[in-house]
């Protein structure tokens, strides 16, 4: 197992058919604001109890570290699973443009009826990326809300 840490990671393994497969990933920082409340089924008191200080009437925000990991067989012609420039483009289209410096609850239609938790954010990012990436390439969406709070979603 070989890992390189810059703004991307690479992990390789040998498949049972002797093919070499790798996961590659890219990190981005995405600044988001949300109101973190369930207006459909919870009272103001219940929202405050469940979401605590994140249920601020003026909203709250984080600089989320978003890690996107894809996997696949190394192409013998290019030596790559995917060109990292292409992965950067997919992330820009599916993550950064629709989300960075936005209010999830007001600027992103998906969250009009979905509570803007980090878990739901991971699902949104997965669903957006899977439409752009080659079939079965997306492996994992990992979001660091803080240094201690991390959500991982693998499409399951």
Establish whether 101 is a catalytic residue.
yes
**Ramachandran angles phi, psi of 30, nearest 5°:** -125, 120
SS3 58: coil
Contact status, residue 105 vs residue 116, Cβ threshold 8 Å:
yes
The one catalytic residue in 22, 30, 54, 144 is 54
Q: What share of the chain is helix, strand, coil (3-state, %, to 5)?
A: 30, 30, 40
Token pair 């920082």 is at which residue? 29
Establish whether 54 is a catalytic residue.
yes
Cβ neighbours around 1 below 10 Å, total? 5
Q: How far apart are CA 86 and CA 130, in angstroms?
A: 14
Catalytic center residues: 54, 101, 145
């Amino acid at each position: 197992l070989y890992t390189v840490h810059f703004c991307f990671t690479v992990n390789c393994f040998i498949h049972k058919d002797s093919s070499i497969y790798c996961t590659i990933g890219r990190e981005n920082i995405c600044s988001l604001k949300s109101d973190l409340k369930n207006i459909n089924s919870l009272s103001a008191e219940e929202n405050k109890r469940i979401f605590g200080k994140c249920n601020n009437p003026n909203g709250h925000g984080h600089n989320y570290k978003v890690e996107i990991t894809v996997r696949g067989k190394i192409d013998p012609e290019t030596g790559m699973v995917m060109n990292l420039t292409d992965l950067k483009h997919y992330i820009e289209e599916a993550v950064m443009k629709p989300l960075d410096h936005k209010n999830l609850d007001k600027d992103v239609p998906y969250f009009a009826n979905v509570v803007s938790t980090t878990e739901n954010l991971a699902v949104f990012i997965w669903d957006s990326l899977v439409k752009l990436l080659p079939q079965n390439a997306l492996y994992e969406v990992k979001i660091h809300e803080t240094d201690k709070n991390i959500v991982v979603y693998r499409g399951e």
